[in-house]
């Protein structure tokens, strides 16, 4: 969410930013906010003038009563009563205007970083860099669920009967790899100086609207019926929410946290064949990283965060690349975002396995996360987040890139301590 004063003083900048995001339907919101704000400030000024006048008249009433001027005192009392009614009406008007302003401001997108390429959607994202050499073996690589089934490692039919489409049972060695990857990612991030955390898996509505846009909320979040609680779509939501309504000490920054959680997502819409299996699902587990820092430090942390994901995948012998997300592909709160994509030798292309985002002060402004500067100033912190690893998609990349011609799957050296020293997964079915 932008600063209201910034919108008021820079309407053309805000409108140009909306155009860069190809959201022209939101352009009228800028003028609407400015008009509502002017009405609200005028109502507040009138209210302040009434309060000052009421205080003056209230003092006169005592004087008039002391002078025996009862009739004049009663007239003054009537005037005070009328002013109270007008003041109540103005306060109600201000509350209504402020709510409208808040809703509009939460719909106007954040100002994107100047380095973000302008594009309409994810088809116009720009490749930044490749890490590792993509390899296509000289044998056929089956679909990822077929590989899992060769190890008796997945049961989709039972999951459909129990919970419907978009769920799965992982079994045996495949389930063990899943847990091993999460444990390895946890320790990987701890070794890089991040504090490990297991957060609440449900959050209140004020946290939800603090960390994401209304469109994201509708597309992703599951609401708990009868309660002001939502299942988290990623632990970033809960982790950033940890700082709601806090005034942080500048000397304590940055906060660097890595968190484990299950994630729950609606995943609306139909998906192609490559997004079936365990690629796009309603429930999965993930290791996340978040940073809360000073504004001037967020660009540096942004690059550190996505590099962590690249380094983790490369430590497991999986080639990856980074994509700079274009303006039209950025969620409304994001200033800048880079996707990390893993190589799929079966598809002969890369696919998304993580996303790193700098949200500037948008989340902090919504959640009222301020910093008490050492010079006595107060300002909003910057927040960033990045996927360390989400095993369902990681499993696809892991299995495809480590599959051998005989159907075995090689376990990378870094993961072996988490797999009881195993070097190979051996199929149970041919």
Mapped onto helix, strand or coil, the DSSP state of residue 168 is coil
When pLDDT is cut at 50, 70 and 90, the band that residue 278 belongs to is: confident
**Residue-by-residue DSSP string for 35-54:** HHHHHHHHHHHHHHHHHHHH
Helix (H, G, I), strand (E, B) or coil at 150: helix
Class of domain 4-105 (CATH, top level): mainly alpha
- Domain 122-425 matching CATH 3.30.930.10: the answer reads yes
Roughly how many angstroms between the first and final C-alpha of the chain, as a whole number? 55
Q: Quick one: average pLDDT of 311-316?
A: 97
Q: Any idea what DSSP says for residue 403?
A: B
% helix / strand / coil in the chain, to the nearest 5? Answer: 50, 20, 30
pLDDT band at 269 (very low <50, low <70, confident <90, very high): low
Question: What CA–CA distances, in Å, run from 134 to 247, 306, 343, 345, 349?
Answer: 47, 19, 6, 7, 9
Q: Which of 1, 203, 172 lies closest to 103 in space, CA to CA?
A: 1
Return the pLDDT at 52: 86
pLDDT, position 229: 96
pLDDT above 60 for 275: no
pLDDT at 270 over 50: no
42 has a pLDDT exceeding 70? yes
CA distances from 225 to 102, 130, 159, 201, 231 (A): 26, 45, 23, 16, 11
pLDDT tens by residue, 181-238: 999 999 999 999 999 999 999 999 999 999 998 888 888 899 999 999 999 999 999 9
The predicted model gives 311-335 an average pLDDT of 97
pLDDT at 130: 98
Structure confidence at residue 341 (pLDDT): 98
- Residue range 116-166, pLDDT digits in tens: 999 999 999 999 999 999 999 999 999 999 999 999 999 999 999 999 988
Query: Which tens digits make up the pLDDT trace of 241-266?
Result: 999 999 999 999 999 999 999 999 99
Local structure of 349: helix, strand or coil: strand
Mean pLDDT of all residues in the chain?
93
Strand partners, 380: 370
Burial code of 239-251, b = ≥16 C-beta within 10 A, e = fewer? Answer: bbbbbbeeebeee
| Structure-model confidence comparison of residues 56 and 130, the more confident one | 130
pLDDT score recorded for residue 276: 65
Average pLDDT over residues 71-87: 81
The pLDDT value given to residue 53? 83
The more confidently predicted of residues 65 and 325 is 325
- Give mean pLDDT, residues 381-388: 97
At residue 371, does pLDDT exceed 80?
yes
pLDDT higher than 80, residue 348: yes
Highest mean pLDDT among 44-48, 195-199, 208-212, 392-396: 195-199
Q: Which pLDDT belongs to residue 195? A: 98
Nearest of 391, 312, 402 to residue 131 by alpha carbon: 312
Asked if pLDDT for residue 291 goes beyond 60, the answer is: yes
Higher local confidence (pLDDT), 302 or 214: 302
Ranges of each domain in the chain: 4-105, 122-425
- In this predicted structure, the answer to whether residue 73 has a pLDDT above a threshold of 80 is no
Is-contact 400 346, C-beta < 8 A? yes
Strand partners, 355: 339
């Amino acid at each position: 969410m932008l600063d209201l004063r910034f919108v008021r003083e820079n309407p053309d900048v805000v409108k140009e930013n909306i155009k860069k995001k190809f959201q022209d339907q939101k352009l009228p919101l800028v003028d609407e906010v400015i008009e509502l704000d002017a009405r609200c400030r005028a109502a507040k000024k009138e209210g302040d003038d009434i309060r000052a006048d009421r205080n003056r008249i209230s003092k006169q009433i005592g004087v008039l009563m002391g002078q025996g001027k009862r009739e004049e005192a009663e007239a003054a009392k009537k005037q005070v009563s009328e002013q109270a009614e007008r003041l109540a009406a103005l306060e109600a008007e201000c509350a209504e205007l402020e709510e409208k302003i808040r809703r509009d401001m939460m719909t106007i997108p954040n100002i994107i970083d100047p380095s973000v390429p302008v594009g309409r959607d994810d088809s116009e994202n720009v490749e930044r860099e490749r890490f590792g050499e993509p390899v296509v073996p000289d044998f056929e690589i089956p679909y990822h669920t077929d590989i899992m089934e060769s190890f008796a490692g997945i049961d989709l039919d039972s999951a459909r009967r129990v919970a419907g489409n978009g769920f799965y049972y992982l079994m045996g060695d495949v389930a063990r790899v899943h847990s091993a990857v999460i444990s390895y990612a946890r320790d990987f991030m701890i070794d890089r100086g991040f504090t490990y955390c297991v957060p609440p898996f449900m959050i209140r509505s004020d946290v939800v609207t603090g960390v994401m846009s209304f469109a994201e909320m509708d597309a992703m979040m599951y609401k708990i019926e009868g309660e002001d609680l939502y299942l988290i779509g990623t632990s970033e939501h809960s982790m950033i929410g940890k700082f709601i309504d806090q005034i942080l000490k500048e000397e304590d920054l940055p906060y660097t946290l890595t968190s484990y959680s299950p994630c729950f997502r609606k995943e609306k819409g139909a998906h192609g064949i490559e997004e079936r299996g365990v690629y796009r699902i309603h429930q999965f587990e993930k290791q996340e990283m978040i940073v809360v820092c000073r504004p001037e430090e967020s660009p540096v942390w942004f690059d550190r965060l996505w590099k962590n994901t690249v380094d983790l995948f490369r430590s497991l012998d999986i080639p990856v690349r980074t994509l700079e997300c274009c303006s039209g592909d950025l969620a409304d709160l994001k200033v800048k975002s880079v996707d990390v994509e893993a190589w799929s030798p079966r598809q002969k292309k890369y696919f998304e396995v993580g996303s790193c985002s700098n949200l500037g002060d948008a989340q902090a402004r919504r959640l009222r996360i301020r910093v008490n500067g050492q010079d006595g100033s107060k300002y909003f912190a910057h927040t960033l987040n990045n996927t360390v690893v989400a095993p369902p998609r990681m499993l696809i990349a892991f299995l495809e890139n480590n599959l051998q011609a005989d159907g075995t799957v090689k376990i990378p050296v870094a993961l072996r301590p988490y797999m009881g020293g195993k070097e190979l997964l051996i199929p149970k079915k041919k």
